[in-house]
Structure 1
Amino acid sequence: MANIFKKVLKLLDERERKRLYMLFGAMTISALIEVAGIVSILPFLALITNPTLINDNRFLNWLYITLNFQSSNRFLIFIGIMVLLILIVSNILVILTMWGVSRFTNMRNFTIARRLLSRYLHQPYIFFLNKNTIELGKNILSEVTIVTSGVLIPLMQIISSGIIALFIFAMLMVVEPLLALSVMVILGVAYIFIYRIVKKKVSNIGKRRFNANIELHKAVYEAFGGIKQLKLLGFEEVFINRYSKPSSEYARDTATNQIISGTPRYIMEVVAIGGIISVVLYLLASARGFQDVLPIIGLFAFAAYRIMPALQNIYASITTMRFYVHGLDVLYRDMYAFEDKSYTPAYSKKKFPPLNLQKELRLEGITFSYPGTSKPVIDNLNIKIDSNTSVAFVGKTGVGKTTIADIILGLLRPCNGRMLVDGVEITDNNLSGWQKNLGYIPQDIYLLDDTVTRNIAFGVPDENIDMNIIKSTAQIANIHNFVTEELPNGYQTVVGERGIRLSGGQRQRIGIARALYHNPGVLVLDEATSALDGTTEKEVFEAINNISRTRTMIIIAHRLTTIRSCDVIYVLKYGKIVGQGKYEELMESNTEFRKMAKAHLLK
């Protein structure tokens, strides 16, 4: 329990922890007033059974005389009204405390999810190469809510109900110590016994629920992500069945946990009724008068009415927490597993001005291996790229072309070596400045389910979008006429999820316009046209040639026809440069390049 509480506190920021402690104080005050309401029952019942207490009890006599009562019946009515008012105030405070707890816990859905999203997005690019993004999305959109409702809220309920139960037992100990101790031991032992029987089962089905939640999210995302192939092959039922198994398992495990959490209530109600009967028999057997026994019976009965829900709430909350605690462990791990500064960038993209390439970009002694592998993908790479030139990297699949592009983009950090811009080494302190000068056009352009404008300005707030820049970059990318003449709402046309309503060439040209929006000095094209047909590829490269004279172009190419006009072509093999020069020079001097050219012509 202490470990769970510690992890929950770590998920909260300092301000939220202060609010949590304030809620604890409110719970304590509410519990004290609730106990006062229960205690007030005792003198009221005693007065009903023995009105002479008005004269015998010093406090009651003082109150009777001070308030100038002339009738014991009116005094009894007054006491009854006061007891009722205390109970009303007690319940109002309970409601207010519940409101505070509910608001606090549910607002944590927002703050923890936002914090977790921020944590994920600020991880280096290599983090996402080793993670399933469906699982990350599930943690943010589903698991945070589940942990809030299944761990944080039950934890608050345990504390709230625990305070109430503790004060009620303390009050009963003052009135009737032996009897109160006996009741406390019997009820406590009963709940502990039940919990020890079910806790392993609850833990196991909780882990199973967590894994089932991952699988059902994967099934849904993968079904919609491959909807075209799915419809073509008629595999609807295959994916429905793939979803059904983890979904039904999730539902069964959740239902089992609810049954385990709720069933003891009915068992303990029988125990409570039996306990009240035992209290009555015990008090009657103690040779006391009925008028002495009745107030104590009434006190214990009303205390049972309050304490049984509290005890059941504690038990149900503990079992619920055990069921969902695996989700808490995962959120805690993902939130705090990357404390190392090598994983968390120590810079803000707003702090550093663009680092422009004026003369040359150098990669010196660059070596890179992906985590979990011993063989380097890039091995002691040394290259120089002059500004305002076009450079291409070619080679077979897996030789490290995209890895070089990612290193230049600052997405991957080399294991050895350094990258210099005009003699300035790129480090964490100036990386964001370098990235502000980069434009990136990948093979697969990711488009938002949004307007053409927002897709070109990608991530820029609406109030900061410059439509003049939008239109000028679209013209350079040869997409402006299509947008204005063929799309129903021009630049405000929604392109559909991942640009499904556009052709491949149109998506690629929007990607070019996006890369140009911030007017970068360096453009990196990573197989940007390899998925296009020859005609469309030619049109896209016409758009690229429009901008190649005023920018540094770094091209990762699969088709050699796209790099004929490059100033320098680097041939890669096994992570090393095995040739460099212009297209014609390599055709004459480099065997590896000739093989690639010949293979391309045979396709």
Structure 2
Amino acid sequence: MSTERKAPTAGARPGGPRGGGPMGGMGGAPGAKPMNFKGSLVRFAGVMRPERARVVLLTLCGIVSVALTVVGPKILGDATNVIFAGAVGGALPEGATVDQVVAGLRESGNDTQADLLASMPGLVPGQGVDFERLAQILMWVLVIYLGAFLFGWLQARIMTIAVQNTMRRLRDDVEAKLHRIPLSYVDKQAKGEILSRVTNDIDNVAQTTTQTLAQLVTSVLTVIGVLGMMFWISWVLALVALVTVPLSVVLTMQIAKRSQPQFVAQWAATGRLNAHVEEMFTGHSLVKVYGRQEAAAATFGTENEALYDASRKSQFISGTMQPSMGFLANLNYVIVAVIGGLRVASGQLSLGDVQAFIQYSRQFTQPLTQIASMMNLLQSGVASAERVFELLDAPEQDPDPADPRRLGHVQGRVAFEDVSFSYEPETPLIEHLDLVAEPGQTIAIVGPTGAGKTTLVNLLMRFYEVSSGRITLDGVDTREMTRDDLRSRIGMVLQDTWLFKGTIEENLRYGVRDDATVGEEDFLAATEATHVDPFVRTLPDGYATVLDDEATALSAGEKQLLTIARAFLADPEILVLDEATSSVDTRTEVLVQQAMNALRANRTSFVIAHRLSTIRDADAIVVMEHGQIVEQGDHDTLLAAGGAYARLYESQFSAPVVDEADAVAGPAGV
């Protein structure tokens, strides 16, 4: 396109803060407002609503897995009691009863030992370890932990399916949203910033959900189950263990409060850095041509430093959570071990119960620690989710009419009727413009940069909507048609060629309508008419030659010819040529011009050109200045009028004035 008001390019951002070219600014980053953590988390839960059946199922699996895991330490405590009772019983006289042994200890003043033996389950004086009973207990423990593993594995599998289904739908929603947002939104955003939201942020949401969803369910259930078992064994020790819980909650909340803004800044900085890298890669040739490598590196360093600083702060602050929780867990462990030992010695608890309780105290603090450590992941994921939601909440283009007008055969009469438009309300660009293109006519649009030429085409394509007035196609307001229907009638060849990764034939057939078929003869006829066939035949694989996304194997002129052939095969009723020959050499320009002449035959065409030699044979030439049509007519008429067109023409084709003395002097005068 021409350099004015380009729609999808990085060089022109109407109303935006960024400059043009590869060294433009970084574009607006999100996160200016405080992050709504709760709101975004609730909204993401809504995104996962279609997976609620799987979420319920994985929760049930988690309940079973946690229940089995929680029962394990209690049964292992019974195994400890069997071993301890066997070790003590083997040292006691055989044939005596427990009551006799306890009574004898009390008579000798050993009340502590008496209390210990009196409360010892399974104690038989003179009998050693009951290995048969011990084997039964250990077998049950093995079965229980194997069951916990299987249900935990099933929970993880269901969770993976649920998360990946959700991410697929989220990516589909983002892709659909990108097709509904207006071009004005894309113009004001750095492409790297949008790409970062579509790729990095969604990947981060997926990773966070995968790592936290099942773990969070399991941790909560574990806390509930373990707490119940702790109160069952000893309510006194349970209350002691709960002393550190309020401290853990307060600590988690304070750390999360300070780390959350840093996660928002981290992902905003990631978006800015991606935008810069994308621009530098796209314009790396210009960066080198103008010697801006150091400036680009300096900008990269600034953005990289900002990302490093935000990442360091967020990870450091959130990283203090786990060691802090670990300290509280160890403190809790010491308290429980001391008090539990005293209660065993006093006969109020068995050794196995204390061992089980200590395991439970570890199991109780471990999920709390896991929940705390998951908070940094959760905050990072919610920050990314909010950035994705901001994209999903972006304003959309006006919807197509519910009952659209559908044209059959299009004659190709295009009329601009009292059209006004501005990118910004306070800066009018086009005001009360009238222009008619009759079927089959070629309308050339010329004028200085910024005159509104490309804007006119953008309005015709409904990339932007007119502020007032209307544009009609065969008498039908284009706003009464669907955008797809309108654009399917129009073929475009732009100054900036776009070819995707694929074969040459796939690129050429890209514009063919889904309901249309192009046979081999028609295909070859189109490529021959547009001078594509000769140079493609010289390639080793011909039309099966695979191009990369930059089509580096082809020259600028060859790429331009391919785009013209693509428009030719699309067979549109209306044609738009926007500076299609500005980047090719003179010889190639002749071929391109011949191809465009073939393409324009029997079609209404709009040709935007700076090279006036390419539009001499146009049916009408429209000269625009400051969004207004200042002249209109054919080439000869406009030249004879001596107005704006004549001045443009003279500036291109008049020979420079050479002083006679310099001409005589020749090289010696240099």
Cα distance in 2, alignment partners of residues 36 and 354 from structure 1:
73
Q: Which is further off, 306-315 or 41-50?
A: 41-50
Identity %: 23
Cα distance in 2, alignment partners of residues 76 and 527 from structure 1:
88
Shift of 1:511: 0.9
| Structure number with larger C-alpha Rg | 2
Closer, same or farther: CA 366–21 of 1 in aligned 2, 3 Å? farther
Name the structure 2 match of 1:362.
Answer: 415
Shift of 1:439: 0.6
**SS of residue in 2 equivalent to 1:513:** helix
Equivalent of 1:322 in 366, 372, 379: 379
1:257–1:320 CA contact under 8 A, matched in 2: no
1:44–1:79 CA contact under 8 A, matched in 2: yes
Structure 1 position 26 matched with structure 2 position 83? no
Q: Which is further off, 302-311 or 281-290?
A: 281-290
Structure 1 position 409 matched with structure 2 position 481? no
Cα distance in 1, alignment partners of residues 577 and 485 from structure 2:
20
Name the structure 1 match of 2:569.
Answer: 517
**SS of residue in 2 equivalent to 1:569:** strand
Shift of 1:163: 2.0
Shift of 1:263: 4.9
Gaps of 5+ in 1: 53-63, 65-70
Shift of 1:247: 4.2
Structure 1 position 281 matched with structure 2 position 338? yes
Cα distance in 2, alignment partners of residues 491 and 420 from structure 1:
39
2:233–2:357 CA contact under 8 A, matched in 1: no
Name the structure 2 match of 1:487.
Answer: 539
Shift of 1:101: 2.5
**SS of residue in 2 equivalent to 1:517:** helix
Cα distance in 2, alignment partners of residues 415 and 312 from structure 1:
58
Name the structure 1 match of 2:15.
Answer: none
Shift of 1:166: 2.1
Q: In structure 2, give the amino acid aligned to 1:277.
A: V
Once the two structures are superposed, residues 294-332 of structure 1 have per-residue CA deviations (whole angstroms, 9 ceiling, x without a partner) of: 132122122134333311210011122224433221111
Name the structure 1 match of 2:661.
Answer: none
Shift of 1:260: 4.7
Closer, same or farther: CA 566–264 of 1 in aligned 2, 3 Å? closer
Closer, same or farther: CA 220–529 of 1 in aligned 2, 3 Å? same
Shift of 1:478: 1.2
**TM-score using structure 2 length:** 0.77
**SS of residue in 2 equivalent to 1:458:** helix
Equivalent of 2:252 in 189, 195, 201: 195
Closer, same or farther: CA 437–483 of 1 in aligned 2, 3 Å? same
Closer, same or farther: CA 397–255 of 1 in aligned 2, 3 Å? closer
Name the structure 2 match of 1:218.
Answer: 275
Cα distance in 2, alignment partners of residues 328 and 335 from structure 1:
10
Shift of 1:498: 2.2
Cα distance in 1, alignment partners of residues 557 and 169 from structure 2:
40
Shift of 1:255: 5.9
Cα distance in 2, alignment partners of residues 507 and 482 from structure 1:
11
Cα distance in 2, alignment partners of residues 452 and 268 from structure 1:
61
1:363–1:419 CA contact under 8 A, matched in 2: yes
Q: In structure 2, give the amino acid aligned to 1:147.
A: V
Which runs of structure 2 are paired with 1:85-484 in the superposition (5 Å)? 85-106=143-164, 108-150=166-208, 153-186=211-244, 188-232=245-289, 239=296, 242-244=299-301, 246-247=303-304, 250=307, 254=311, 257-258=314-315, 260-286=317-343, 289-290=346-347, 292-338=349-395, 342-343=397-398, 356-358=409-411, 360-370=413-423, 372-427=424-479, 429-458=481-510, 467-484=520-537
2:504–2:544 CA contact under 8 A, matched in 1: yes
Closer, same or farther: CA 95–423 of 1 in aligned 2, 3 Å? same
Cα distance in 1, alignment partners of residues 162 and 629 from structure 2:
59
Once the two structures are superposed, residues 313-358 of structure 1 have per-residue CA deviations (whole angstroms, 9 ceiling, x without a partner) of: 10011122224433221111112333x5x4565789xx99775421
Cα distance in 1, alignment partners of residues 577 and 256 from structure 2:
56
Q: In structure 1, give the amino acid aligned to 2:500.
A: L
Cα distance in 2, alignment partners of residues 157 and 99 from structure 1:
13
Gaps of 5+ in 2: 1-36, 90-121, 123-128, 656-670
Closer, same or farther: CA 89–491 of 1 in aligned 2, 3 Å? same
Q: In structure 2, give the amino acid aligned to 1:174.
A: W
Q: In structure 2, give the amino acid aligned to 1:509.
A: L
Once the two structures are superposed, residues 202-252 of structure 1 have per-residue CA deviations (whole angstroms, 9 ceiling, x without a partner) of: 224323322332243234323332333445566656645544554465456
Cα distance in 2, alignment partners of residues 498 and 353 from structure 1:
37
2:77–2:352 CA contact under 8 A, matched in 1: yes
Cα distance in 2, alignment partners of residues 399 and 330 from structure 1:
37
**TM-score using structure 1 length:** 0.85
Equivalent of 1:16 in 27, 46, 51: 51
Once the two structures are superposed, residues 152-203 of structure 1 have per-residue CA deviations (whole angstroms, 9 ceiling, x without a partner) of: 63354323312221221133233323422331231x2333343344334422
Closer, same or farther: CA 230–430 of 1 in aligned 2, 3 Å? closer
**SS of residue in 1 equivalent to 2:243:** helix
Q: In structure 2, give the amino acid aligned to 1:20.
A: V
Q: Which is further off, 20-29 or 377-386?
A: 20-29
Closer, same or farther: CA 24–226 of 1 in aligned 2, 3 Å? same
Cα distance in 2, alignment partners of residues 291 and 297 from structure 1:
10
1:158–1:318 CA contact under 8 A, matched in 2: no
Q: Which is further off, 512-521 or 375-384?
A: 375-384
Cα distance in 2, alignment partners of residues 345 and 171 from structure 1:
62
Closer, same or farther: CA 400–229 of 1 in aligned 2, 3 Å? closer
Cα distance in 2, alignment partners of residues 129 and 257 from structure 1:
31
**SS of residue in 2 equivalent to 1:565:** coil
Shift of 1:10: 4.1
Name the structure 2 match of 1:78.
Answer: 136
Closer, same or farther: CA 358–431 of 1 in aligned 2, 3 Å? same
Shift of 1:453: 1.3
Structure 1 position 576 matched with structure 2 position 628? yes
Q: Which is further off, 453-462 or 579-588?
A: 453-462
Q: Which is further off, 198-207 or 459-468?
A: 459-468
2:503–2:545 CA contact under 8 A, matched in 1: yes
Once the two structures are superposed, residues 19-49 of structure 1 have per-residue CA deviations (whole angstroms, 9 ceiling, x without a partner) of: 3343333323332333233444455555555
Name the structure 2 match of 1:5.
Answer: 41
**SS of residue in 1 equivalent to 2:502:** coil
Once the two structures are superposed, residues 565-593 of structure 1 have per-residue CA deviations (whole angstroms, 9 ceiling, x without a partner) of: 11122222222222222111222236222
Closer, same or farther: CA 262–170 of 1 in aligned 2, 3 Å? farther
Shift of 1:525: 0.7
**SS of residue in 1 equivalent to 2:50:** helix
Q: Quick check: which one's helix share is greater?
A: 1
Q: Which is further off, 445-454 or 272-281?
A: 272-281
Cα distance in 2, alignment partners of residues 37 and 355 from structure 1:
75
Shift of 1:81: 1.6
Shift of 1:427: 2.6
Cα distance in 2, alignment partners of residues 434 and 461 from structure 1:
13
Once the two structures are superposed, residues 486-544 of structure 1 have per-residue CA deviations (whole angstroms, 9 ceiling, x without a partner) of: 22221122344422222222111111011122211111111222233333323211111
Structure 1 position 592 matched with structure 2 position 627? no
Q: In structure 1, give the amino acid aligned to 2:468.
A: N
**SS of residue in 2 equivalent to 1:570:** strand
